[in-house]
Structure formats: structure tokens, C-alpha cells
Structure 1
Amino acid sequence: MKTVLITGANKSIGFETARQLLQKGYYVYVGSRTLTNGLQAVEKLKADGLTNVAAIQLDVSDQASVEAARAEIGAKTNVLDVLINNAGISGGLPQTATTASIDTFKLVFETNLFGVVRVTQAFIDLLKNSTEPRIVNVSSSMASLTLNSDPTWPYYNHKGAVYLPSKTALNMYTLNLAYELRNTSFKVNAVDPGFIATDFNNHRGTGTVEEAGQRIVKYAVVGADGPTGRYFSEEYNPETGEIPW
């Protein structure tokens, strides 16, 4: 049975992604900043008959928490097949380039970029033990420099001076990670779940968590002939999914 760790999986998109991977026969570690919330999520999944799941206390902004999670999972298995870096924060909107505080930048980057680096580096050894390791970094089409500079793009006027750069930086980390692992069986991609109605955007999104989960799962289970080092948003490009950096 293949194993997957999903950060921020106790609710919304992360929770739905966990559900869909459980339905595909994966064993899922539900990473949750608060263990109580993670345990409640696990009980909901088990109530639906999805039993190959465990809650892991994991605050991606806390090095000690990440190390403890690595030790806990490492005590149960020496292989991790999939890592989905889903945990993220917006930092509160609106955010302007002339007024956003340095503290807000630090807060958002701590989770959206540094958190991904922490978790990836902590679990890379277990991933290397997999025959088909996969890493999905949950990004956003809003991180695209190309799209953000195009006045004809539908979201051109929806800026965020802190959140968007944090995801753009995540994209560059994804490219570097994929490059370093290019001669291995790893597949590393950045995936935009879409504009989804969740707590993250006060449920203003137009898509469903089910759609978001499907988009993430697609690249979590991609085959040996699948892409790596790419950036996908099926909401923006339904045909091939790929979008410009």
C-alpha cells in the first residue's frame, strides 16, 4: 500500500484530497497544525469507511513540529510515496506593495515557502525509498508572473503583494527541486487547485473542493511517463493544464 503525507489536510482542499487518495487505496497521513483538528478529520473519514488514515501533528512553520512528525511517521514506515505540500495562508487581504508590513511578509513566507522547504527536506529520505516518489506543491495561477503582467487576464486586477510572491517563490523552489531530482524516478510539480470556495477566501470561490482534489490527485498519482518540473492550472487551461510561469 502506497503512503502519502498531506500538510494542512484537516479541512477543505487538503481534506478532500485525503479522501480521494484513500478511495484510491493509499494510506494517508493527515497533517494538521492542531492535533485535535486532525483527529476529528480522521474520524470523519473513518465514518465513511476510509480507515487507512492517521492524524499527524504538523505545523510547517515550526521546525520542531516537522522533526517530530518525521520521527513519528518514520517509526511506522521507511517509505513515503507521495508528499503533498498543501498547507498555506493568505496573510489577510487586501495587500498592497506600498503598505504591507515586513511582519506580514515573514508570516506568509514562513508557511508558504519555508514550510514547504522544511517538510520536503525532512521527508526526502523516506521519499527516496519509494519506487515512484511524487511531490505536489500546491500553488496558484495567481503566482504566474506572465499572467499577472497581462492586462487581458481575467484576474489581472486581483493582486496580493504578499501572498502572490510567496507562491511565486514556491514555484521557483519547485523548479529547483525538480531539476535536482531530474535523473531519478521523482515527479515534482506545482499545481493550482483553482478558485475554490473554502474558508481561505471566505467561500467566494467558484469551484468545489472535489474539483480541487481531483486536480491535485492527478499529479500525486502520475505515472512514470508523466511530467516533472511543470506548473499546472486546469481551471485556466482545461486542455493541457499547463500554464506559464
Structure 2
Amino acid sequence: MSETKVALVTGANKGIGYEIAAGLGALGYRVGVGARDRVRLDTAVEKLRAAGADAFGVPLDVTGDRSVTDAADLFEREAGRLDVLVNNAGISGPPTGSGWEQDPTLLDLDVVRAVVETNVIGVFRVTNAMLPLLRRSPSPRIVNASSSVGSLTWQTDPGIDVGPIMAAYSPTKSFLNAVTVHYARQFAGTNILINAACPGLVATDFNGNFGSRTPVEGAATAIRLATLPDGGPTGSFFNDDGVIPW
């Protein structure tokens, strides 16, 4: 078995996910680039390879059982194990008005269901499918892409500006944080480290390129958590400055 570490990044065809894949590739990881859109996926893989990364495409829709099973089978054939899983794929859902706000009193419940399906249930689906491969790694790492808007502490502090109300998106990140904690409890006493990463407000297509940070900057915390040494933290929530309160 090759000693080169192997990673999977979901939602990696652009934005922060792409830069996480690029960063891990630059560190010598073999990177599976997960994405739904095959054209964008192929373009991202070609770009990563041109930059010197050992990258391969993983067609992956985190909302589909068959798609996730097929992705796990692909990793079985390609590498026989998985060292790093970054659950980065996510959606925000449309705003309820002309701005970037999601008013909880106006939300279409089908929008809420769709955001939960991708941002939370998709993490369960992918993590559990990849777990047998992760268990074959000597130092498996799982990183869940969260957000400061998922911090209930910050959301309820009137002295902290957490941006507009995003009543479909933000609660899924609180949900995801709780999921991260429960996986960490389940993995206690094992070599699997799992943490949540906040990228900050990054200018990407996800938010209409509104933000003060670049995708490279936004990827930094996830890369750091993906490459933690044995004995590192687990079951915690981080940004560039350190631990974020739940």
C-alpha cells in the first residue's frame, strides 16, 4: 500500500473546497475532488494537475445514496483507504427577499428540507460510507465545514455582528456542529479526529462574492485540521484564531 496520504474533499470544484483540495495537494496528498457537476469536476481536476497536484475526480452528490456508495467504491479501487475526509459541500438556499436574508416567517419549508439534506444529512451519508476506508488509515481526520453563523453563543450576543438572519442556512451549521460533537464522542479512544472549521466570510459564488477573505484564506483552517498530528484536538470548532464557542 502506498504511503501517500489520500484525501476526499466534497464540493471541491470551486471556491473554498477547491482551495482545500489544492492546499492538500501541495502538501503531497493524493486528492479526490468530489463534485456533482461533471464538467466543472473535470475542469477542477485538470487545473489541480496542472499545478502539480495528484488529483482525481470523484462524481459525488452528497444527497444521493447511490452516488455516495459509488464514490466509496471508487476510493476502494483507487486507494484502498482514506486518510482525510473534508465534508465541504453545502448550500445556503435562496433568500426570502431582495437581499441575502432568510426570514424564518417567510421560508418555504421545502427550502429548509433541501438545505438540511445537503448540509447535515449529506455529512452523515458521506462520513458513514467512507468510515470503513478511514478506519484503515493510521491517522484518519474528518473536517466538517461549518460557519460562525452556526455558533449559538455568537448568534445570541447582541454585541457581535453575525450578519443577516439566515434562518435556513445558519441552523444547519448549528446542527452540523452538534453532529460533529456526537461523532467525536463515538470515536473517543480511537485515532480518528473530527472537528468543525469556520472559513470566515469568504468572497465566493456561494454568497455572491460578498466577503473580505479569499478562498485561499478560507481554506486554511480546514487544511490545518485535516493535517493535525496524532493526539490533536477533536470534537471542537475552530477558525483562524482558535476555538469558536458553540
Structure 2 length normalisation: TM-score? 0.95
Residue matched to 1:147: 154
Q: C-alpha distance in 2, partners of 1:105/1:214?
A: 29
What's the offset of the Cα at 1:34?
A: 1.5
Indicate yes or no: 2:17 matched with 1:10. Answer: no
Give 1:225 deviation, angstroms. 2.5
CA distance in 1, matches of 2:166, 2:161: 15
Question: In the aligned structure 2, how far is the partner of 1:75 from the partner of 1:41?
Answer: 21
Deviates more, 1:30-39 or 1:122-131: 30-39
Which position in structure 2 is the counterpart of 1:43? 46
Q: Following superposition of structure 1 onto structure 2, how do residues 223-234 of structure 1 map, counting pairs within 5 Å?
A: 223-234=229-240
* Post-superposition offset of 1:213: 1.5
> Any idea what SS the aligned residue of 2:171 has?
helix
Q: CA deviation at 1:32?
A: 0.6
Residue aligning to 2:143: 136
Instruction: Please give the alpha-carbon distance, in whole angstroms, between the structure 1 residues aligned to 2:155 and 2:113.
Output: 22
Q: Does 1:171 align with 2:177?
A: yes
Identity of aligned residues (%): 43
1:208 alignment partner in structure 2: 214
Equivalent residue letter for 2:243: E
Q: Secondary structure at the match of 2:40?
A: helix
Kindly provide the amino acid, as one letter, of the partner of residue 71 in structure 1.
D
> Given residue 69 of structure 1, which amino acid in structure 2 is its aligned partner?
A
Give SS of 2:243's match: coil
Letter in structure 2 aligned against 1:55: G
3-state SS, counterpart of residue 75 of structure 1:
helix
Alpha-carbon deviations, 1:62-88, whole Å to 9, x = none? 111111111111112221000000000
The answer as to 2:201 corresponding to 1:195 is yes
Deviations 1:136-185 (A, max 9, x none): 00000100111100000022x52111101111111110000011001101
User: Matched residue of 1:223: which SS?
Assistant: coil
Give 1:203 deviation, angstroms.
0.6
Q: Which residue of the partner structure matches residue 242 of structure 1?
A: 243
State whether structure 2 residue 124 is matched by structure 1 residue 117.
yes
**SS of residue in 2 equivalent to 1:99:** coil
**Counterpart residue number, 2:98:** none
RMSD across aligned C-alpha pairs, in angstroms?
A: 0.9
**Would you identify which runs of 4 or more consecutive aligned residues in structure 1 move more than 4 Å?**
none
Partner of 2:92: 90
What is the CA-CA distance between 1:227 and the residue it aligns to? 0.4
Amino acid at match of 1:85: N
Distance 1:53 1:233 in 2: 26
The 2-side partners of 1:64 and 1:225 are apart by 35
In structure 2, what is the Cα distance between the partners aligned to 1:89 and 1:212?
16
Residue 226 of structure 2 is matched in structure 1 by 220
Deviates more, 1:171-180 or 1:210-219: 210-219
User: Counterpart in 2 of 1:32?
Assistant: 35
Three-state SS of the structure 1 residue aligned to 2:33 is: strand
**DSSP 3-state at the match of 1:31:** strand
Q: Determine if the alignment matches structure 1 residue 183 to structure 2 residue 185.
A: no
Q: Post-superposition shift, 1:59?
A: 0.4
Counterparts of 2:116 and 2:177, CA distance in 1? 13
Q: CA deviation at 1:226?
A: 1.1
Aligned with 2:144: secondary structure? strand
- Deviations 1:54-109, CA, capped at 9 Å, x for gaps: 01100001111111111111112221000000000000222111111110111100
